Amino acid sequence: MRIAVDAMGGDHAPKSTVLGALAAVKENPAITVVLVGDEQAIRNHLPQDLPANIEIVPTAEVILPDDEPVRAVRRKKNSSLVVAVEMAREKKVDAMISAGNTGALMTAGLLYAGRMDGIERPALCAYIPNTKGRVTLTLDVGANMDAKPHQLVQYALMGSLYAEKVLGFERPTVGLLNVGTEEGKGNELTKAVFPLLQEADLNFVGNVEARDVMQGACDVLVCDGFVGNVLLKAVEGAASTIFSQLKQEFTSSLINKVGAAILKPGLVRFKKKMDYAEYGGAPLLGLKSPVIKAHGSSNERAMKNAIVSATRFIQQDVNEIIQQSLQKNTLGESE
């Protein structure tokens, strides 16, 4: 099993990507990680004796976080991100991972990997931790700002299969993000998609309000990219604020510091549940080749877990299962 990693993508690259790759191959010697990027920068974080299951593919360009996606992909064809996607398309690797520019990754995925048959718009997934000790797989969280009803049903099918095959959720529940739980609530899009989700081969549990997402109201949450991106950033912002305020309070006085020391084991467990690094990368579902997006601020642990997620995706042959399911449900045709 071979996995390409955009070694130059992410806030802490290439150190985090390289160290994450080393941790992944140490944990699972059966995989080979191909690090794509500036060879000297990559080697600066590798041992002198390169492990047999670590390879380097040198590239001369890097797509930066503030680069305009379409222009960057077209002009920087020798960038680490584009080359890694091309390797996945050409079957030189079984999957690729990047923590870099999300828009550029989506563009490269569409231009080079291509969409699955019957998929109009691939969806970007995200993991939102919940109080049940699991995650809620949410899609779309920004790949497409607008969507049609049948496209949301495609998202639901792809997300449900991914949750089952990669995350290990048995018969995952699917919810529709909405402003109320009653049938008939919402805008024209949610009203139109609700009956389609009821008819599809899904464990559909109805509408889910944003306040219930982190309570684990469903395993897979479906929405258009605009709403999904707002939800994701609101959750990330809230979590960051909570941890910041807790740290400030627990260090504000001697008695608070004593209390923090007593509560530390529980706080560590809580932070671990909320930490994106525990869940690694999430896929761009609907592309012909497995493309995994890791968080932009991924550290070593997050990159290692992203590689672990990619191996599960490959082992379970998720793309083939999604393709078969779409054909069975005949939801590839525009309405």
Map out the domains of the chain with their CATH numbers: 1-119+286-335 (3.40.718.10), 126-243+276-281 (3.40.718.10)
Of 320, 321, 310, give the one whose Cα is nearest residue 25: 310
Least trusted range by pLDDT, from 8-22, 226-240, 256-270, 283-297: 256-270
Q: What is the pLDDT of residues 73-101, one digit of tens each?
A: 999 999 999 999 999 999 999 999 999 99
Who has greater pLDDT, 248 or 291? Answer: 291
Q: What is the pLDDT of residue 144?
A: 81
Q: Which of 43-57, 225-239, 313-327 reaches the highest mean pLDDT?
A: 43-57
Q: Do the beta carbons of residue 283 and residue 313 sit within 8 Å?
A: yes
Residue pair 280/304 in contact by the 8 Å Cβ criterion = yes
pLDDT surpassing 50 at residue 109: yes
Reported pTM: 0.82
Query: In the structure, what pLDDT confidence band is assigned to residue 220 with cuts at 50, 70 and 90?
Result: very high
Question: What type of residue is 40?
Answer: Q
Q: How far out from the chain centre does Cα 290 lie?
A: 11
In this prediction, residues 134-153 reach a mean pLDDT of 89
pLDDT at 232: 86
283 strand-pairing partners: 292
Q: What angle do CA 247, 252, 256 make, to 5 degrees?
A: 85
With pLDDT > 90 as the criterion, what percentage of the chain qualifies? 52
